[in-house]
Structure 1
Amino acid sequence: MAVLGTRALNRALLARQLLLAPADVMPVQLVEHLVGLQAQHPTAPYLGIWSRIPGVTTGAISALIADRSLVRIAAMRSTVHLFSTADARWIRPVVQAAVAKGLTPGSGYGRMLTGLDREEVAAVAASYLQEPRSTAALGEHLCAVFPERDRDALMILARCLLPLVQVPPKGLWGMSGGTVLTTLQAFVGPDPADDRGPGDLVRRYLAAFGPATVRDVQHWSGLTRLGPVVAGIRDELVAFTGEDGRELFDLPDAPRPDPAVPPPVRLLAEWDNILLGHADRSRILPPEYKDRVFSQNGIVRGAVLVDGMVAGAWKLRTGGPRATVELQPFTRFRKADLRAAEQLAADALRFGAPEAAHEISVLEP
């Protein structure tokens, strides 16, 4: 079995994530290829798309959310993702077990829900959310029907058992306001028949993140016990060995570029897929930089890639007359790499705040 080193895995990942060369795709196609973009912070998926599609605008992406081509919904790892409507319909049920982990009997919310008919709560919430409602209104309604129960626990139960969409203007660039929810079916219409399941999710994952271990797929999806699922489609896959001896699976025709291919400098969005797709992130994130990118309060910073690996962080700030980008190299960059990062920062400012005054600052390593 062929051995794939870190550099080979890195180049394969960059190619799958459309970061090795400019992507000739439309935003919806990109979001589908990446199997969604993590989106609990509204601006993150915009920058994730921008980093992969040259010339895309915030207005073009917002229009796709406004016209319901793209939707924001809790999915993998029970976190909010931006999906195409077509993908949200089938992926959300497949990852239901991952979304519902917060309801396990031993969890805090699980204990608060002891003895409650959970399906009854879900049915009450689904009926109420046939029209878009604020989270506050939903909480008040559930408490009125189930007065002896904790409001937050009832809200979490509804979120975990129902496919709830965050309705625009939430998620539109430059817009603010509270979260308004409705069910996916109420928002985009009844689900067409679709028999796709975990095996299809694994295939889609490998197209965007492979080669990968079963543990990687589980880490990304939040699902467990995927070994039998991978075994069930093994005849469709090819296998490799990582430097650590673990078995890696992949699609036969997926790109695996020459490890010597030089990648361009890239700026990654906060919570970018590429940093969240594997249990072992060493193919993209040097271990010594993990704590500088992943904070203790759950923030995943925007990262700077140099030679395909995380080598710094960056932050775009907009919303006033002046927009800024702060670049923070973790080690001293070569002049050409720093110049490339500054050019990307200038492009990010034009993307995120075209009418504002622009400023770029570079911190010392």
Structure 2
Amino acid sequence: MAKRRVTQVERRARLGRRHALAAQHRVGTPEAATAAMTVLHATEAPSVYLSVAARTEGVTVADVDRALYDDRSLVKQLAMRRTLFVFPRDLLPGAWGAPSARVADVERRKLVRNVVDDGRAADGQAWLDQVGEEVERLLAAEGALSARQVREALPALDGKVTVSATSPWGGPVPLAPRVLTLLGASGRITRGRNAGHWRVNRPAWTLMSSWLGAVPDPLSAREGYAELVGRWLRTFGPGTEADLVWWLGSTKTAVRLALADVDAVEVGLEGGSTGWLLPDDLEPEPELAPWAALLPTLDPTTMGWRDRDFYLDPSHTAYLFDSNGNGGTTIWWDGRIVGCWVQDPGGVVVPVLREDIGAEGAAAVAVEAERLTAWLGGEVIGSVYASAQMKQARLP
């Protein structure tokens, strides 16, 4: 039987509908917006809120806070590619068993080596086991503490250790955040309530068992990757093996095994490459009327694939992504990235287009800019991942 062929137009229709970006397909809660995307990027605090806002109607900052900090139906977890994400609670066991475990293993080995090289301990693993237990005892007694409070309470975590001097990111690095990052990746502790404004990450660390009440067991690595690959295909499919390897920060071996475990089906992609879909998701996607969306820095739609030509003109990449591949703010029209957005000092959202999208497209983008301006209510969002286009268009 010939492989089904999926065109770029169809992929863009799937994106608009499944990512809840087309206006008629928006959802009603932060949980539904997160589930639609599998996970949300959370490296920058505002991205979580703005990614939800783009996919919902009537959802406020307080609603996102409720999901994150009261109901705890959405939980922050370091996972794929050593990146912080917001996960639906039921997907955490898959993360802990697979990508988070992979990150934790890498972080553990580096930290053990650095501690020994710096002369803090002859047995780096024993030292790390001990301080990890001390952190957990401290949080069990105190409930929730900032990284600074943890460091001040535990002298063993004071100071810095030297990371590779040959790396551009080498040199002395504070020790406490690295230990907390490792414990967080391991699922032993988590970022609890935010002590700052919703635009700023100032987490109070707490035990995962205290935060969740009951902590389910991690899945095995094989089960975890299969769970994540299945959800990714539902959200982002069709995608290539290379897309999945990149998104998961994993290996080809793990991805191929997961694709087999979910019975993924090969499809042909316009351009000649091979993509994958779930076996119950092979029907052609209905056409979708043109739609507009304004997405934040590091939005999961922008960052969902390694190969982006079906929604991003390669000539735009240098302007809309930084040198490390981090996507800045984006404007979408009819399933393609066509520019970025910035704000004036009063918080008004100003679209910056890189191509002519016609009167209909420009009008639709203007409506979305007004919607986002109203949602922000005067708050001005900054980013350390500002793209070249954002910097050039920055308003005084």
TM-score higher than 0.5: yes
Q: In the alignment, residue 121 of structure 1 is paired with which amino acid?
A: V
Q: CA deviation at 1:160?
A: 2.3
Quote the Cα distance in structure 2 between the aligned partners of 1:260 and 1:290.
27
- 1:332 equivalent in alignment to 2:356: yes
Q: In the alignment, residue 160 of structure 1 is paired with which amino acid?
A: L
**Residue matched to 1:262:** 289
How does the TM-score come out when normalised to structure 2?
0.78
Q: Residues 228-307 of structure 1 correspond to what in structure 2 (within 5 A)?
A: 228-233=256-261, 236-254=263-281, 258=285, 261-296=288-323, 299-307=326-334
Q: Do 1:6 and 1:282's aligned partners in 2 also have CA atoms closer than 8 Å?
A: no
Quote the Cα distance in structure 1 between the aligned partners of 2:272 and 2:288.
24
- Larger mean Cα displacement after TM superposition, 90-99 or 304-313: 90-99
Quote the Cα distance in structure 2 between the aligned partners of 1:306 and 1:223.
32
Q: Residues 42-191 of structure 1 correspond to what in structure 2 (within 5 A)?
A: 42-67=45-70, 68-100=72-104, 103=107, 111-114=113-116, 115-117=123-125, 118-130=128-140, 131-144=143-156, 152-162=174-184, 163=187, 164-170=189-195, 173=198, 178-191=202-215
Deviation string, structure 1 residues 174-198 (Cα, Å, up to 9, x no partner)? 6x57332123222122313564521
Q: How many residues of Structure 1 are paired with residues of Structure 2 in the alignment? A: 352
**Distance change (3 Å), C-alpha of 1:141 and 1:95:** farther
- 1:6 equivalent in alignment to 2:8: yes
Q: In the alignment, residue 116 of structure 1 is paired with which amino acid?
A: G
**Residue matched to 1:17:** 19
**Distance change (3 Å), C-alpha of 1:299 and 1:149:** closer
| Percent of aligned positions that are identical | 23
- 1:200 equivalent in alignment to 2:224: no
**Distance change (3 Å), C-alpha of 1:173 and 1:243:** same
**Distance change (3 Å), C-alpha of 1:241 and 1:113:** farther
Structure 1: runs of 5+ lacking an equivalent? 357-362
Q: Do 1:214 and 1:230's aligned partners in 2 also have CA atoms closer than 8 Å?
A: no
For the residue of structure 1 that corresponds to 2:338, the secondary structure is strand
For the residue of structure 2 that corresponds to 1:275, the secondary structure is coil
Q: CA deviation at 1:311?
A: 0.3
Q: CA deviation at 1:293?
A: 1.6
- Larger mean Cα displacement after TM superposition, 335-344 or 68-77: 68-77
**Residue matched to 1:359:** none
Quote the Cα distance in structure 1 between the aligned partners of 2:14 and 2:235.
9
CA RMSD of aligned residues (A): 3.2
**Residue matched to 1:311:** 338
- 1:353 equivalent in alignment to 2:361: no
